[in-house]
Chains A and B, each alone.
Chain A
Amino acid sequence: MTRVLPVLTVLAAIVVVWYLAAVGLNMNWARQQLERDGVTATMPALIGNTMAQERPVLPAPHQVAAGLWEGIAGQKITSKRSLVWHAWVTLSATLAGFAIGTLAGGLLAVGIVHNRAMDQSVMPWAVASQTVPILAIAPMVIVVLASAGVTGLLPKAIISAWLSFFPVLVGMVKGLRSPDAMQLDQMRSWNASAAQVFWRLRLPSAMPYLFASLKVAIAASLVGTIVGELPAGATAGLGARLLSGSYYGQTVQIWSALFTAAALAALLVLIVGWIERITLRRMGLDR
């Protein structure tokens, strides 16, 4: 209870502030609309109007909730208006990209740990690349791949792979190096081969690091996919929903897509955390 109560208080405060902001921001339009209708602008009528506009500056929380409900439960899942369908488009590209990125990052980390030349060549550039706003290239990658004849899920997956690649690489290198000299000496005195050291010592001790970076990586790959859906031409996915919402001023649509994306991110991080707990417990690394 001591943990839940503060969080609930903060969330409640956010909702209250949101309602106040909605009233404040939508007031202008509400006043104009009531004037046009020839209704005397009483305060309750004004506030009622700010809560129920078609295209509010800031939709009230219950409007977003209604938009979400309509998008998730009110449509057939295969319909193009269904948020479930758009979320699935985004999710499939995210998972594909995440798988590619994790695999590539893991393999490169193994190479870096075992080969000194590779370590000194690749690692400084990998670290430097962290400071580069890679997401800015996303639309270009999409357009270039489209002109090369690659469309659909793959271009988005490449961007999300690119974003999830570096957290995994850095985390795995750190993790594979985490066994200390004593443990490595112990393996040597058991006459272990390099492969045995890898499978029995390095890989298990890298697991906590791997999962910590996987949580960062899956959130990053979702962001990558959503941005990858922004360039013109994309009609499916949460990013495309955001863009079309912003073109047509459909704020409720933007907010619903935003909340769907947030829920998706939370869900993905939770799933990775769940797998982490099970794996670490079975390996006896549970803390």
Chain B
Amino acid sequence: MSAALPILAVWLGAWGLNAWLARFDTRLTRILVALIFGATVLILWEMITRIYNVPPVILPPPSQIARAFTDNLPLLWGDFVQTILKGALSGWVMGAVAAIGTAIAIDRSPFLQRGLLPVGNFVAALPIIGIAPILVMWFGFDWQSKAAVVVVMVFFPILVNTMAGLAATDPLQRDLIAGWNAGYWQALWKLRLPAALPFIFNGLKIATTLALIGAIVAEFFGSPTRGMGFRISTAVGQLNLALVWAEILVAALAGTAFYGLVALVERRLTFWHPSQRKQS
């Protein structure tokens, strides 16, 4: 019981500090509170693994993970290039272009839209990741098959969102632009696509996480001897959990950066939308 006392002390101390800070509720304290909480979790994790002698094959302490991260930087960078840049990113771009293109192509046919929207919504809820073994069989072990999995995974969420976005203008706006004698393509380019952007970006942001998951999980079904999914499954086999956690750290950083980048572009392009305006 005495071993648990310092853990409890840290926990209560950090919590008390946060409870006190939270009362101010300014921008700075909000960031501070979040940071303190994150740091507390890390410190508690380190203390628990040390005090209770948790074997590192079950849960390595954060310090060991940090060391594994810095020691294996070239290895991790190679995996990052293979999985994130080659697999996830290229698939994400191809899937997004294909989905937005399809949405525009069927835009003029209400019949196809009515048919494709329910099917798309249905497919978006399916465990599409299951298609990974099939695509790995078709496209081989290298990054092409991973990109293919990502294309299939991101296609439907983006398609459904783009279709909803293209329908988002109201009749008044469409009448106005028709009154200016704009043709179909002009109306699409100047009115309906900009109006659809918030929806499209919503789809793109959902797709960033899906892309990473698709690229990593597809590697469990076969991959060359590099890549994050491959490293995770082999390192687990060798019980080298610190390296696994280092890969997870890379995945987390890459995922956050990817999402943040898309959100940044969104902010630049849809600055006029209510959700992007500065809160006063």
Contact = CB atoms under 8 A, between A and B. Distances in A.
Interface of A: 2-3, 5-11, 14, 25, 57, 116-117, 119-122, 124-125, 128, 130-137, 139-140, 143-144, 147-148, 215, 219, 222-223, 226-227, 230-231, 238-239, 242-243, 245-246, 249, 251, 254-255, 257-258, 261-262, 265-266, 269
Interface of B: 15, 18-19, 21-23, 25, 29-30, 33-34, 36-38, 57-59, 111-116, 118-119, 122, 125-127, 129-131, 133-134, 136-138, 208-209, 212-213, 216-217, 220-222, 228-229, 232-233, 236-237, 239, 241, 244, 247-248, 251-252, 255-256, 258-260
A121 B33 contact: yes
B129 A132 contact: no
Nearest to A144: B58
A9 B130 contact: no
Given A125-B34, A136-B216, A10 B112 contact: yes
B127 A57 contact: no
Contacts of B115: 5-10
B133 A227 contact: no
Contacts of A132: 209, 248, 251-252, 255-256
Q: Is the interface of B mostly helix, strand, loop or mixed?
A: helix
A167 B201 CA distance: 19
B116 A265 contact: no
Contacts of B130: 226, 238-239, 242, 254, 257-258, 261
B134 A140 contact: no
B258 A131 contact: yes
Contacts of A230: 217, 220
A266 B122 contact: yes
Given A116-B22, A140-B248, 20 more contacts: A6-B116, A10-B115, A25-B138, A57-B138, A119-B22, A120-B25, A120-B34, A124-B34, A135-B217, A136-B213, A136-B216, A136-B228, A137-B248, A139-B232, A140-B232, A144-B58, A148-B58, A242-B133, A243-B221, A258-B134
